[in-house]
Amino acid sequence: ILNVEQSPQSLHVQEGDSTNFTCSFPSSNFYALHWYRWETAKSPEALFVMTLNGDEKKKGRISATLNTKEGYSYLYIKGSQPEDSATYLCALWDMRFGAGTRLTVKP
């Protein structure tokens, strides 16, 4: 079982703030890391799949980086909006998700 840890557990920011959070994982035998966005009462939605050390992916105001040697990935949100409020989950290739970071963006 591959344990991923996410921090912080929750985050409250003001609209317009930029923010970031972390997914940490064991650095050995890496294959892939997934980021998902999960809004309340909806199903998780894929954001990024990252497979190579140094990967950087971007979708609109959201971007992610990957460091497989030190075992972490960062998710960045630039200029947060209230609609970004959600729980952000990461998982390794075994698809066991971390506890998530719950982001609340206040107008």
CB of 7 to another protein, least distance (A): 14
Nearer Cβ to another protein (26/79)? 26
> Given CA atoms 92, 97, 2, 8 in this order, what sign does their dihedral have?
positive
Q: Which residues contact 59 (CB under 8 A, 6 or more apart)?
A: 47, 48
* CA–CA separation, 99 and 107 (whole Å): 26
The answer to whether 68 contacts another protein (rule: CB under 8 A) is no
Bridging pattern class, strands 56-59 and 33-38:
unpaired
Alpha-carbon torsion (59, 50, 12, 83), positive or negative: positive
Q: Pick the closer one to another protein by CB: 15 or 94.
A: 94
Q: Considering only residues 13, 65, 76, 93, which one is a binding residue for another protein as defined by CB under 8 A?
A: 93
CB 44, min distance to another protein, A: 5
Residue 40 within binding range of another protein, rule CB under 8 A: no
Alpha helices in the chain, H assignment, sequence order: none
By CB under 8 A, name the one of 43, 60, 83, 107 that touches another protein: 43
Residues near another protein, by CB under 8 A: 1, 31-32, 34, 38, 42-46, 49, 51, 87, 89, 92-100
